[in-house]
Amino acid sequence: MVVIQGWKERALALFRRHRWLPTVLAFVPIAVLSLAVLLFRQRIEDLSGLGLAGVFTVNLLGSGTFVLPVPGVLATFVAGKFYPPLLVGLASAAGSTLGELTGFVAGMGAEPAIERIPLLRQVERWMQDRGGLVIFLFALIPNPFFDFIGFAAGSMDYPVRRFLVFCALGKAVKFLAIAYAGYYGIDVAIRYFSST
Q: Answer whether 0.75 is exceeded by the pTM.
A: no
Q: Looking at residues 96-111, what average pLDDT do you find?
A: 82
When pLDDT is cut at 50, 70 and 90, the band that residue 16 belongs to is low
Bigger pLDDT: 37 or 135? 135
Q: Looking at residues 73-97, what average pLDDT do you find?
A: 89
Bigger pLDDT: 2 or 156? 156
Domain extent, residue 125, equals 2-195
Distances (CA, A) of 43 to 39, 54, 58, 96: 9, 11, 10, 18
- Non-local CB neighbours of 62 within 8 Å, separated by 6+ positions: 37, 68, 69, 70, 71, 72, 96, 99
Query: Where in 21-175 does DSSP place strands (E)?
Result: none
Neighbours of 173 (CB within 10 A): 15
Please give the tally of structural domains in the chain.
1
Q: What is the 3-state secondary structure (H, E, C) of 132-192?
A: HHHHHHHHHCCCCCHHHHHHHHHHCCCCHHHHHHHHHHHHHHHHHHHHHHHHHHHHHHHHH
Contact 71, 142 (CB under 8 A): no
Q: How much of the chain exceeds pLDDT 70, in percent?
A: 62
Residues counted in the chain:
196
CA–CA gap between residue 181 and residue 196 (Å, rounded): 22
